[in-house]
Structure 1
């Protein structure tokens, strides 16, 4: 399992959030699955004590301030934070689903219809970020979570105010992910413009539609050379023909040659409408295609002591999570990147809608069939939690169904690995 039990050295609570398990890590920090007193799940990011210094704390505080500024339906929301705490921590919205990188690795590239829908959605989200005077600077497939309500952008740890030339990095230091980095960003140019996020979005769309990034090399120095060399064109092989013109423009070497995000949205809409769909219909198909539903029997829900005899209804299981380190020169910790606990086959969608009569309904052929609901086991009563939990307490708290499922899995994993 990619979700792991808390170690003896892990905190059990931060800022009022009870920590239930480890869901990811990076070079500078750890991310936990947490739960608020009211049962709200959260991804709680903590800086490791071994790397907390004045510069790290300042960068973390900048990330918190930026997350306070950002708003939007496609942005993982900040829930709470304390950059002055020991250790510094922040809690963001917990999104259940695979990131784009892992979805493509598991299920293959998206059809052009869905890749265009993804592009339009993310372009609109980035435009909102830019209107707030910010740049993301590290958009990549691993920072796009495909949640049950559509894609969301995470990890603004490298975000900067667009008009600011101030940087917390040392001179001649490049921070980010080279494989999705615009040439001017790779060269260390200052100040950066919104065009860097347009380029990164082009790289993300390329990956979604083809399964590979614009440049690939085993050596980091070779990769930087490919990105910054104006004579080395990005690899657009396996990209659907209808997306090639747009991606060519978005991945242009010169920043001034790249389209504005509003133009990206228009071109993505054109690709969608050419195939006979409306944008909202394509969005629904994208969400259906990328959602990772889980089915958990009622028996997985542990019994919780409560005054009432009523039973808490079953919710979908929380997805396993793991954070992948960036491939750049600096390790960056992101909020949780998700993976389902049990691989679920993703329905196959075609780019073209089925033929319709003139009297057919406005929406094209329906999406994939919804999965059957979860069923209970035995007599339907929930099974008790496994014994030997390292985090058992004398006083039990009433958790959300999602958190209880996660805690039960942690107990099972711990029991399976224990030597006694």
Structure 2
């Protein structure tokens, strides 16, 4: 997830949450990365002052009430909210990771095994939501976050709340994302059924497997015409053969022709098991493949002042002095440094499980393992050498020469200069 620094006009605190950076924004609000007094990260959504009025507050309050009713392991949970504040806000669980749209843009489409795992996971999550009497109605790649514990669905509130009351929805208004919207929703039909989320999930899985959506057009009117035209079939180019029957059914023009979510889970399981995997194995591979390197939230916090540790001429802390973590800067100013992150992280193997290595000594001397091709690049990865013990001085402490300290200092300054925050 991209995090931008706060601007001079942004608040620094809301409802007890310290705001650390910007996560995203929309037409009505801004989303910040916040931290509770106890250190819990949260995504804090704030309505823009320019659009705060009685109707907006009513809509926002209804969104909060709807979010209170949604629960599930794959749903970003509501933490707190205050729709009556001068700047109405709500805080939800913060999920560290890219959304599906950004992940595919950076790393390419998912293999069929991982797409099927994603489908089973999200279909099961949506089925739980439907049992609570709610629909998402705006599921799309940007609303699926790929966190360190697996994918989670976000942004229920605005979509559900936008159509939950006639008094809050303008006549002849269609709410949702056209490129993932089923024909009945694009035509403004009401009431909508769970089949709208089945269609949208099909569009999400199509995007995950191929990198494109069912219909594409530069003009919004042309796009709506494509979606609502029964003679215009969705574009399934680039989809692996084993997923074509499932996505064809999920993207059926008529709602009654789409499978139920339970059937989607079963068909996704069949795709996974046909490749020799258990569903739990595929889930773990999906998480390993999509998890982004963790951000260091400390880097967004104001630097804490720490006492200077005097050093002896030999470069060791003097007796009785307390060693502090190394920082860049001068005087009492400290700078926390982010490690390099981005799309060049090591991909995860997703091919069939091979034979297990034999026990040590079964084939004589240990052999160096061969390089393995990665799933999404085809390149080989040389095995990393085993790390050896750090050099030690006679006193038993790690040995750091003066030149090593100078080199480390320069590296930290270089990283600090190129860091995002």
TM superposition score category, shorter chain reference: 0.7 to 0.9
Per-residue displacement from partner, 1:81-109 (whole Å, max 9, x unpaired)? 01111110001111111100010011110
Comparing both chains, which one has the higher relative contact order based on Cα–Cα distances under 8 Å and sequence gaps of 6 or more?
1
Unmatched runs of 5 consecutive residues or more in structure 1:
320-339, 358-364, 387-407, 415-420
Compute the displacement of 1:222 (Å).
Answer: 0.3
Equivalent position of 1:360 in the other structure: none
TM-score (norm 2): 0.76
Query: Which blocks of at least 5 consecutive residues in structure 2 are unaligned?
Result: 308-320, 328-335, 358-371, 376-380, 391-397
- Normalising by the residue count of structure 1, what TM-score does the alignment of the two structures yield? 0.76
Q: What does 1:241-280 correspond to in 2, within 5 Å?
A: 241-280=241-280
- Post-superposition offset of 1:169: 1.7
Range with bigger deviation, 58-67 or 92-101: 58-67
Residue 174 (1) aligns with residue 195 (2): no
**1:143 has 2:128 as partner:** no
Shift of 1:67: 1.1
Distance between the aligned counterparts of 1:180 and 1:275, measured in 2?
A: 29
Q: Is the 8 A contact 2:18 2:34 kept in 1?
A: yes
Tell me, yes or no, if structure 1 residue 77 matches structure 2 residue 74: no
Q: Secondary structure at the match of 2:34?
A: strand
Name 1:289's counterpart in structure 2: 289
Name the CA distance, whole Å, in 1 between partners of 2:219 and 2:162. Answer: 31
C-alpha distance in 1 between matches for 2:99 and 2:76: 13
> What is aligned with 1:86?
86
Task: Quote how far apart the aligned CAs of 1:344 are.
Answer: 3.1
Single out whichever of 1-10 and 90-99 deviates more from structure 2: 1-10
- Mapping of residues 5-404 of structure 1, within 5 Å: 5-160=5-160, 166=166, 168-294=168-294, 304-305=304-305, 341-354=341-354
**Could you list the per-position Cα deviations for residues 256-293 of structure 1 after superposition, in whole angstroms to 9, with x for gaps in the alignment?**
11111000000000000010000000000000000112
The answer (yes or no) to whether the contact 1:104–1:110 under 8 Å persists in 2 is yes
Output the CA distance in 2 between the equivalents of 1:51 and 1:300: 29
- How far apart are 1:311 and its partner, in Å? 6.5
Tell me how far 1:167 sits from its aligned partner: 5.9
Residue 30 of structure 2 aligns to a residue in which SS? Answer: strand
CA spacing shift, 1:153–1:167, aligned 2, 3 Å: farther
How far 1:194 sits from its partner (Å)?
0.6
CA distance in 2, matches of 1:313, 1:206: 47
Is the Cα contact below 8 Å between 1:165 and 1:191 reproduced in 2? no
Whole-angstrom distance in 2 between the partners of 1:136 and 1:114: 23
Q: Structure 2 vs 1, CA of residues 15 and 242 (structure 1 numbering), >3 Å: closer, same or farther?
A: same
Distance change >3 Å, CA 222–CA 318, structure 1 → 2: farther
CA deviations on 1:152-205 (whole Å, 9 max, x unpaired) are 000113343899563622011111100000111111111111110000000000
Contact 1:98 1:146 in 2 (8 A): yes
In structure 2, relative to structure 1, the CA distance for the partners of 1:354 and 1:19 (3 Å cut) is same
Q: Partners of 1:163 and 1:409 in 2: how far apart? A: 47
- Larger gyration radius, structure 1 or structure 2: 2
Aligned residues: CA RMSD: 4.0
Change in Cα spacing, 1:199 to 1:312, as seen in structure 2 (3 Å) is farther
Determine the C-alpha separation between the residues in 2 that align with 1:193 and 1:313. Answer: 58
Is the CA contact (8 Å cut-off) linking 1:4 and 1:21 kept in structure 2? yes
**Matched residues in 2 for 1:27 and 1:410: separation?**
33
SS at 2:43 equivalent = strand
Distance 2:47 2:209 in 1: 35
